[in-house]
Amino acid sequence: MRIDGDNFKELCYWCRIGSVENVDRLVSTGVNLNLNDEFDNSPLFLASLCGNEEVVKLLLKRGAVCDRDRFEGARCIYGALTDSIRNILLAFDISKAVDSKQPFAAHLSSLLTDPSIRSHDIVFQFPGLKNIKLHKFLLAARSSYFEEKFQGPWMDKHLIKMPDWVPQKSLEIISRFMYLVPILHELGPTETGIAKKFCKKLELLDLLEHIDKARHIADPSEKSKLATESQFRFSERARHQMRAFVGKIIKQKICLPVEQTGSSERIKMLKSSVCIPDVFVAVCEKNRPGYRWFYPCHRSILVRSEYFKIMFSSNFKEASSYSQTPEGTVDRSKNFPVISFPCSDSAVAELILAYLYYDNTDISWEFALDVLVAADALFTDRLKTMAAVAIMQSTEFLNHHSIFEVLYVAWDTRMERLEHYAAEVIANDFKFYCHDPRFEEAVIKSSRRIQNRQEADTIELVDDIRYQLLKKHNVDTEEFEEISWDEVITEPSKTVLSPYNKDIEMLEALLNRMGLIA
């Protein structure tokens, strides 16, 4: 199957170029990795052919198929530019091709399969069998049947005793599907019959459609292909549902004075909102000092951030304040914790929530710098990377922000790619920046970043700019290394090095004036 969408075309371009960050950004928009472009090339084939090993690894991790028994897989393997890539593709287990392709989907699966994440708030009890522990908000987000139940007869319930006629296997299959745990390769005739019986009732039409299609396919390779395509649709459907659910969270947010938080009736009502929250996220209102926005959220999602994962698994009050019901579920009626986001803009907070809930990485340049700083505080490295990419790819950003502001944030957040970007911007317009007092200040700050400065130490910013000047003037670094420094300085008339020399001489003059040896 081919696709002509702009996102897919851009994905293919970055697979050829080898940009891991841009490939990851586009994959998170929901692009199907297992389609072909107008020349019948898949993203995996392009990355393999062009020798982009890290992109190959990322595509496989996100759900790209490489089945050596199929034409597309064989093309990738035999067209690989390097033996290393070929070995990676040969070693790839086809069963992994139906794994959750998005990090958010992998996290949803972990809520069901990882016993260390204890945040469930509903237990389904089967007579004489093992209980199944789930999350109300996720069931409600993915099924209108459960949404109606939790807003109606099951609103205050933590334990649902299942009737004898409902087989435990049915809920196991349905819950694994709803948590995006791959199940399609496990469905035999018995499991298929059980699942189909409940799909209509729970309005799980994607799974029902797959079951009906799979009945008429006997060829194992075709069944595998269908399973992969269906798992992609399942993941995308879940992302759309979670996006809609975040819309409900944002719609339910309220703004209150800090001193009224504990006694406000609106807060009490928010606890029992349609979002079925178990934690409030608080964000300062930048235009109204003393006021905060409150979002009804879920700690099982917030723990995608390493910061909150540590918080909720520690002895901090935010973790210890949770009460449990006799069934061992979270009791949302007592000790409702409030946690703060490290930002003072609700728009930034909502971008972070969108990332945590459904892996949204579409970050506008207006908020990218604030998202970067907040993501660093939350130990969310992938979101940091996506914010940095948004800054570097924007044509508007530098019309509103100084490149030195970018540089200082890059230092504070340890974002090396942004440091290099700042150096590139400065180098590309060096005649202008060299006479800017802010550049001199930046060089001084960079020199102070060297701990226990020794005579042989260099100033990182200066080194980066020198490298970017080489690139700017297309100076061959190997050829340049063969020329002595004295020769470069004393013979600026050389055709290739003359423009480079002019910039270097300005840089050296600045350093001499500042009394720095770099």
Tokens of 181: 């745990």
Supply the pLDDT for residue 424.
93
Same domain, 438 and 476: yes
- Which of 45, 68, 98 is at the close of a domain? 98
- Which of 238, 263, 286 is at the close of a domain? 238
SS3 category, 24: helix
Q: At what angle do helices 365-377 and 403-413 cross, to 10 degrees?
A: 20
Contacts of 352 (CB under 8 A, 6+ apart): 341, 343, 371, 374, 375, 378, 380, 383
Pairing of strands 279-284, 338-340: parallel
Rg (CA), the chain: 28
Please say whether the dihedral angle defined by the alpha carbons of residues 112, 116, 122 and 126, taken in this order, is positive or negative.
positive
Same domain, 92 and 135: no
The CATH number covering residue 48 comes to 1.25.40.20
Supply the pLDDT for residue 331.
55
Supply the pLDDT for residue 139.
95
3-class SS letters over 131-144? CEEECHHHHHHHCH
Same domain, 87 and 115: no
Same domain, 111 and 181: yes
pTM exceeds 0.75 for this model: yes
Asked if residue 251 belongs to a domain, the reply is no
Supply the pLDDT for residue 141.
95
Asked if residue 185 belongs to a domain, the reply is yes
Buried b vs exposed e over 99-108: b needs ≥16 C-beta within 10 Å? bbbbbbbbbb
Tokens of 333: 């009626």
Same domain, 111 and 232: yes
Distance CA 201, CA 343 (A): 43
Same domain, 80 and 110: no
Same domain, 42 and 127: no
Distance CA 125, CA 327 (A): 10
Supply the pLDDT for residue 403.
95
Give 284's DSSP letter. Answer: E
Cβ proximity of 371 and 351 under 8 Å? yes
Domain count, the chain: 3
Please tell me the number of Cα atoms within 13 Å of 173 on its side-chain side.
Answer: 25
Same domain, 487 and 412: yes
Same domain, 79 and 126: no
Asked if residue 281 belongs to a domain, the reply is no
**Could you state, in chain order, the average pLDDT of each consecutive group of 10 residues for the chain (518 residues)?**
68 91 83 81 88 89 66 69 81 48 80 81 88 93 92 90 85 90 79 82 86 81 75 86 96 85 75 90 85 92 91 66 56 72 91 93 92 95 90 91 95 92 92 90 86 62 88 69 50 60 86 76
Asked if residue 262 belongs to a domain, the reply is no
Domain that holds residue 457: 402-514
